[in-house]
Every structure is written in C-alpha cells, then in structure tokens.
Amino acid sequence: MKVLIFGPSGSGKSYISFELRKQGINAVDADKIEGLSSWYDGAGNKVVYKENTDEEFLNNHSFFWDRNFLEDYLSKTPDVYIFGVSGNMNWFQNY
C-alpha cells in the first residue's frame, strides 16, 4: 500500500509518522526524501533556497514535489506512508 498524507505545518503529520514507525510501518517525512522537492521560480526553473531567505523569495517562488521522481520512488518502495506538503499536492490527490 502507498499512502500520501498531506497537511499544513502543525497538523500532526510528524507525530502520526513517528507513531507509525514505532509500530514498524514504513512512514517517511517527504522532506527527508532527497530529490523529491525543490523550490521553483514563476517560470518553472529550479532555484536554490537559502537559509536566510526573505519574504520576497517566499512570495515569488513555490515549493513543489517532482512528480517523475515520486513515481520512480514509489515504484521502488512497496509499502510506504509519505507525509508532507507541497505547492503542487493537488497533482497527487488521485494518484
């Protein structure tokens, strides 16, 4: 089974993920999947996110998951619960 669980910050994703892992269930924080997500500018180009970024950057860029990367990851991972949020999460609702 493959389950994507979306929710805003503070909604309990990390807590539920932790509890599932305690039960031996493969639950993963999407932010820890190297290569899944990136920041993009308005033209769709990947950009580097810097730790000292400002509000202007956040207002002019989007945090997206890479659909092709996710498809590949899921094809190699038989059972997984992935927890996270992205600006394009609506692309994955009926995945």
Note the pLDDT tens digit of each residue in 35-78.
Answer: 999 999 999 899 998 888 888 998 999 999 998 999 999 999 98
Q: Does residue 95 fall inside a structural domain? A: no
Q: Quick check: 93 pLDDT over 80?
A: no
Q: Does residue 29 fall inside a structural domain? A: yes
Q: Does residue 94 fall inside a structural domain? A: no
> What count of other Cβ atoms lies within 10 Å of the Cβ of residue 77?
13
Q: Does residue 64 fall inside a structural domain? A: yes
> What count of other Cβ atoms lies within 10 Å of the Cβ of residue 7?
14
Q: Does residue 37 fall inside a structural domain? A: yes
**Cα–Cα dist 95/79, whole Å:** 15
Q: Does residue 15 fall inside a structural domain? A: yes
Task: Report the number of distinct structural domains present in the chain.
Answer: 1
For 63, the domain range is 2-89
Q: Does residue 25 fall inside a structural domain? A: yes
Q: Does residue 84 fall inside a structural domain? A: yes
Q: How does residue 95 score in pLDDT terms, banded at 50, 70 and 90?
A: low
State if pTM tops 0.75: yes
